[in-house]
Structure 1
Amino acid sequence: MKQSFPFSLLWLMLALLASCKTLSPERPEEFYLDLDYQPPLSVLSAPVEIPIPELQRKLNDQIQGDVYVDDDLDDDNLMLRVSRRNPIRVATSDAATEEAFRVTIPLHVWAKGGVSLKRFGLDLSKYEETEFDLNVKYDVRVQIDEQWQLRTQTTAQGFDWVKKPVLDLGGIRIEVAPFVEGVLKRQQRDIAKQIDQQVGQQVNLRPQAEQAWAAVQKPVLLSEAFDTWLRIHPTQALVSPLHVNEQVVQGQIGFRGYAETFTGKKPESTNEPLPALQTTDSVPTDFEIGLLGQISYAKAEELLRQEVEQQTFTSGSRAVRITHLNLYGSGENLVGALQLAGDVEGKVYLQGKPRYDPTTESIIIDDLDFSLDTRNQLAKAAAWLGRGQFLRELQEAFQFPIGAQIDTTRQQLQQLLDDHEPYPNMRINGELSQFQPGKIFITREGIKALVVARGRARLDIKGL
C-alpha cells in the first residue's frame, strides 16, 4: 500500500526554509599599513661636574719651577728669574663672572739690575741683586668643545705686589717695579696660554661620553612576563654653557633621541657613533617614551569567543547565534568575521577603528558597524538584524584589556628610573608623571596601542 507524504509537513519545511535567510557578503580586503610611528623625542640629561680642587691639583702639577728667565743684562740692565713660590690657588668668589674662576699664582722674583757707565776707559757700572714676591691673577672660563675636550679661555687680571722691588746702589734707591711690571705683563700672556694648554691636555671627556653613548643604545628588558624591551636611539649630543658654583664647574650634557618599548624578541642595538657636541643655551630635561601594549589576534579572538560565541541574540520571535569568529586587519580598521546560525545563516562582517580608552585601559571600537556589503544584504534579507540591538551588544563585547601589560611596563620603567644602574658605571634617576593615549596600530601580528609617558630622566656617568 502506498503512503502519501503529509502535505502539512511539506508546507512546514518549506516555510522554515523560506524564513531562514542566507547571507554571503563580500569579504573586506585584508591589508596592513606600514607602521607609521615616530617615537617622541626625549632627552636623557647627564650632569657634568669638574671639581675645582682637581683643576687646582692639575695646574700645580704642570706649572712648577721657573716661569720666566732673562739672563741678559746688556739689553736693559736687568736680569730676572721668576718662579712659583707657593701652590697655585683656584677660587670662585673672586672671579669677575659666574662663568669663570680665579687662578692666583704666587711668584718669587730674583732680579739683578743697576746702571752701566763706561767713560774714558773706566767702568763705573754698578749692579745689585734683589728679591721680591707678587701674586699674579687670572680669570679662567671653561667650556667643552665639539670634540668633547675641555677648553679654557684665560685672561690676565693683573697682579698684587707682596713687596715691591727696590735696588740699593750705594745709598741710591732705584724703584725696579716699573721695569719689572712691563716684563710681567708680557709674560702674563704666555702664562695664560700655558694654563689653557695644560687644562685642555688634562681633561678629555670623550672616553666617558663614548662609553655612555654606546651603553644607552643597548636594549634593557623591562618585563619578562610580557617580553617587553626598552631601547634608546640617541641622535644628538647637547651641552649647556658651564658655570662655576662654589667648588665645582657645572653644566649639563644631553643625549637627545627616541625612547621606545618593544614586545617580542630583543631588538637590535642602534650602534650610532658618538656625534660632535652641540652647544645650546640649556639642555632640556623632558623625557618621553612610547609604551606599547599589544594583543594578538588569537588572544583577542579568545576573549571575544568567551563573550559571544554560541550566545543567542533574539529579536521578537527571531534568533541567531554566533558559531565562529575571527579577526584581521583592513588598513586602519579591525574586521570581525562572524559565522551565524539560526534565522540568519552565513557570515557577517563588522569593522571599525580601534582606540585606547584610558578609563577601562582597553582597546575599544566606538564606531563598530557592518561592512557596506553586509549591511546591504541585511537590508534585503534580514533587516531586523541590522537595526541596532545586535550591533550594540557586539560593540560592548569588542573590548580588549591591555591595562595590565601597560601598567607592568610602566612599573618596570619607573623601577629602572629609581636610582638604577642599567649600564656599567652609570646610574639613572627620574620619574614618569603623565600618561597620554596615543595611536592604535593594526598589524599582521595583532593590535598595538601606544601610550605616551612623560617625565624626567637623569643619567649620572662616573668620571664625567
Structure 2
Amino acid sequence: MKVTILLGLVVLIFIISCGTSNKIETLKPEADLAAPILYDKEISYLNIPISMKLKDLAFQTNTILNGLIYEDKNLEGDDLMLKVWKQAPIEITDENGKIKVVLPLKIWAKVRYGSTVLGMDLYDTRELNFNGVATLLGEAKFNNWKLSAKTTVQSVVWKESPSVTIAGKSMPITYLVNPAMKYFKPTIEKKIDAAISESLNFQSNVLDALETVTKPVNVNESYDTWFKMKPIGLNATEAVLKKDVVSMNLELACFMETLIGKPLNDTFNRDEIQLKQVAKTKDQFSASLIVVSPFLKASEIITKNFQGQEFGSGSKKVTIQKVDLWHKDGKVVIALTMQGSLNGTVYLSGIPKYNKEEELIYFDDLNYVLDTKSKLMKTANWLAQGLILKKIQAYTSYSIKPEMETAKTQMEQYLKNYSPAKGIVINGKVDPIIIKNIQLTNQAMVVTLNATGKVALKIDGLQ
C-alpha cells in the first residue's frame, strides 16, 4: 500500500514537473544611445520631356489676347487716329524652326486731310473701317519659367486699300496709314509676346504641384506607412520648335522617402525652388526611394508575423507574445518575449540583408546572444536547437515583393495614358524596382530602393 502511494506521488510529481513552465532570466543587451535618425540620402532625378503642339499654344494665346490691342487718340502730328482690334483667331505655325503668328486685324481710322489755301485751313475728316493681316515671326526661347517668342512684325497686308472719296473720286490714304504702322507695330509685338509668355508660364502650375507632393501621403494604413518627397531643384532645357511642336525637358531633383510612422510636415518654401537652364538632361528618370523603418514600428510589424505561431520540440512549445528590435554594435537585437514551456525574454542578434532571388529581407548570422544561449543550454536546450532557430528566423524575415510590385503597379497607373487635365497626357514605363542597400542607424533600418524608367508629357487638344 505504501509502495503504491509512493509510486503515485512520484508519478504526480513527474506530471506536475512536466506541465510547469520554466522561467528564464537573461541579460538584456542595452541599446546604443539614442541619436537622431541620420542616413545617406541619394538624389532622385525625375526627367519629364514636355511637348506642346502649336495649335494648343494658339488656343491659349487666343484665350488671353482679345479685343482692342492698340489705340491712338491724337490727330496732331500725323493727321490720323487709330484703333486696332484682333478680328479673328490667331494662327501660330512653324516656319523653319521659328514661330509664325498670323494676326487678323480690324482697324478703325479717323483721317484728317486737306490743305491751307490763302492762309485758310481747308481740312476735313473721315472715319474709315478696314481689315488687314499682320504676320509676325519669332524665336522660341524658354527662360525664367516662360516660353518667349520675341516676335517682330514682318508685314501688314490690307484686304482693301484704305481710301476716302472726295468729289466723287476714291483717294488712297495709304500714305497716311502706312507711316503710322511704326507706332502700333511695337505694341502688337509686345501684346503677342506677352500672350504667348502667359500661355506657357509653368511657374505657378509647377510650384503648386510641388507644394502638393511635399505633403506626406499615407500609402498603407495597416502598417502606418507614409510617402514623402522633398524637391531641391529644377532644371530645364531650351525649347525646340520642330514640325509645329514645341519640345523641352524638365528635370526635378528631389529626395524621396517612405517612413513607417507619420513624418513631420516640412514647410514648403516656393522661393527656394530655382529654375536652372541646362543644355541637357538625363534621358530617363532615376528614383532612389528611401524606406525608413524605425525599430519601434518594425517591432510591431514582426510581432504580427508571429501571431498564432508555435515553436518547440515534442511536447515543449512556446508562442511569441511580443517582439522588440533595437540597434547594438552594428547589429539588430531581436527580443522575443515567450510564453509556454518557457516564460521570459530571449535575445537574438543579426544583420539585416536583402535576398534578391527570393526578394525578402532577412537577418543574416541570426543567433542567440551569448548570455541567452548559455542559459538556454542549461534550462531549455530544445529551444536552442538549430531547427527551431531556423523556424524563428523565417518569421523574422519578410518578403517585400508584394510591396515592390504594388509600388510599380501604382506608378504605372500614372504612366499609361494618364490625363490629369483635358488635353494633357502622360505616358511612360517603369523598370523593375531593386534594393540597393540597407543601412542601420541607432533608431531605424533604412532601405534604399532604386527605380528607373521613362516618362513623357504631351499637350494636345487643350480646351
Structure 1 residue 358: deviation in Å? 0.7
- Residue 35 (structure 1) aligned with residue 38 (structure 2): yes
| Paired residue type of 1:87 | A
Structure 1 residue 137: deviation in Å? 1.8
Instruction: Evaluate the alpha carbon distance shift between residue 392 and residue 157 of structure 1 in structure 2; reply closer, same or farther with a 3 A threshold.
Output: farther
Structure 1 residue 162: deviation in Å? 3.4
- Residue 268 (structure 1) aligned with residue 267 (structure 2): no
Matched residue SS, 1:214: helix
Counterpart in the other structure of 2:103:
104
Instruction: Evaluate the alpha carbon distance shift between residue 368 and residue 132 of structure 1 in structure 2; reply closer, same or farther with a 3 A threshold.
Output: closer
- Residue 329 (structure 1) aligned with residue 327 (structure 2): yes
Instruction: Evaluate the alpha carbon distance shift between residue 273 and residue 349 of structure 1 in structure 2; reply closer, same or farther with a 3 A threshold.
Output: closer
CA RMSD of aligned residues (A): 5.8
Structure 1 residue 454: deviation in Å? 2.7
User: Alignment partner for residue 413 of structure 2, among 409, 418, 421?
Assistant: 418
- Residue 229 (structure 1) aligned with residue 226 (structure 2): yes
Counterpart in the other structure of 2:217:
220
Matched residue SS, 1:92: strand
1:396-415 correspondence runs (5 A): 400-403=396-399, 405-412=400-407, 414-415=409-410
Uncovered stretches (5+) of structure 1, i.e. residues with no partner: 1-25, 313-323, 339-347, 379-389
1:250-399 correspondence runs (5 A): 253=250, 255-264=252-261, 266-274=262-270, 275-281=273-279, 285-290=284-289, 292=291, 296=298, 329-334=327-332, 353-364=351-362
Counterpart in the other structure of 2:64:
58
1:79-90 correspondence runs (5 A): 79=80, 81=82, 83-84=84-85, 86-90=87-91
- The normalised TM-score by structure 2 is 0.61
Output the CA distance in 2 between the equivalents of 1:234 and 1:402: 31
Output the CA distance in 1 between the equivalents of 2:152 and 2:210: 34
- The normalised TM-score by structure 1 is 0.61
Uncovered stretches (5+) of structure 2, i.e. residues with no partner: 1-26, 315-319, 337-345, 375-384
8 A Cα contact 1:293 1:406, kept in partner:
no
| Paired residue type of 1:89 | I
Which stretch has the larger CA shift, 78-87 or 187-196? 78-87
| Paired residue type of 1:256 | A
Structure 1 residue 215: deviation in Å? 1.5
| Paired residue type of 1:258 | F
- Percent of residue pairs bearing the same amino acid type: 18
8 A Cα contact 2:115 2:123, kept in partner:
yes
Instruction: Evaluate the alpha carbon distance shift between residue 401 and residue 291 of structure 1 in structure 2; reply closer, same or farther with a 3 A threshold.
Output: farther
Instruction: Evaluate the alpha carbon distance shift between residue 437 and residue 203 of structure 1 in structure 2; reply closer, same or farther with a 3 A threshold.
Output: closer
Output the CA distance in 1 between the equivalents of 2:456 and 2:226: 20
Matched residue SS, 1:153: coil
Structure 1 residue 234: deviation in Å? 1.8
Structure 1 residue 191: deviation in Å? 2.3
8 A Cα contact 2:57 2:196, kept in partner:
no
Instruction: Evaluate the alpha carbon distance shift between residue 88 and residue 224 of structure 1 in structure 2; reply closer, same or farther with a 3 A threshold.
Output: closer
Instruction: Evaluate the alpha carbon distance shift between residue 198 and residue 440 of structure 1 in structure 2; reply closer, same or farther with a 3 A threshold.
Output: closer
Output the CA distance in 1 between the equivalents of 2:220 and 2:325: 27
| Paired residue type of 1:189 | P
1:141-220 correspondence runs (5 A): 146=144, 153-164=150-161, 177=174, 180-197=177-194, 207-220=204-217
User: Alignment partner for residue 71 of structure 1, among 75, 78, 81?
Assistant: 75
Matched residue SS, 1:181: helix
